[in-house]
Amino acid sequence: MAVKFRAQKGTPLTYSELDNNFGSYFYSASVSNTSVTLHYPASLEVPVNSGSVSFSLVKGLEQTGADRRIPFYSGSSELSSDPNLGVDVSGSVGIGVDFTNDFPLDYKLTVSGSIKATGTVFQGSDERLKKDIYPIDNALSKIDSIDGVNFTYKDTDEKSIGVIAQQIQKILPEVVSEDNKGYLSVNYSGVVPVLIEAVREQKSIIDDLVKRIETLENK
């Protein structure tokens, strides 16, 4: 079965043609304890090698029940005991995590290390997705109770700045999360609305002071 290209046809491919194209590339797949293999048809009429291509897994499926996971190799022909990527039974992904102790994962994506994005990361905030909406009270007092600190991560010696989750948990428990090992994480973007309201409260105080000063000066 030959692959049909859009450039040759001159019009967009139909779903049926796309299905046929995919079938021309791979007609079956198999999973062993250490690899996933895509089998090509012998009569392949596209400019790729016919036969089979295998993708290595770290140790195939590990553990049982809710703790099942598939860790992947980094691409080396030799199996490594320190996999880079793992997926648990719920579809959650871990990158650079401790595959012995961190599964099952608490979040849909868990990364041990820094994350770089060249684009913008958006968080869903549509009013239609929310209920029980009410203003943030005493925002200035809450912000005044939070300490910004410099610190160094123990495991990497990386220097950073931020807050202490245990302190934030007492003031803004909504932005603090605890994982299955008891470690706390902070949703820093969740602090922004409190800062907005704190600035608004502070502006109100300043405006009132300005009016008092003007009144005194006009006497």
Q: Ranked by mean pLDDT, which of 55-59, 110-114, 178-182, 186-190 comes out on top?
A: 186-190
Write down the pLDDT at residue 47.
44
Write down the pLDDT at residue 97.
79
Q: Is 3 helix (H, G, I), strand (E, B) or coil?
A: coil
Instruction: Return the higher-pLDDT residue of 141 and 49.
Output: 141
Q: Which domains does the chain have, with CATH numbers?
A: 1-56 (no CATH), 57-116 (no CATH), 117-219 (1.10.10.10)
Average pLDDT of the residues in 69-85: 53
Q: How far apart are CA 128 and CA 184, in angstroms?
A: 29
Chain-centroid distance, C-alpha 59: 24
Q: How far apart are CA 5 and CA 14, in angstroms?
A: 11
Instruction: Return the higher-pLDDT residue of 14 and 211.
Output: 211
Write down the pLDDT at residue 165.
97
Write down the pLDDT at residue 91.
76
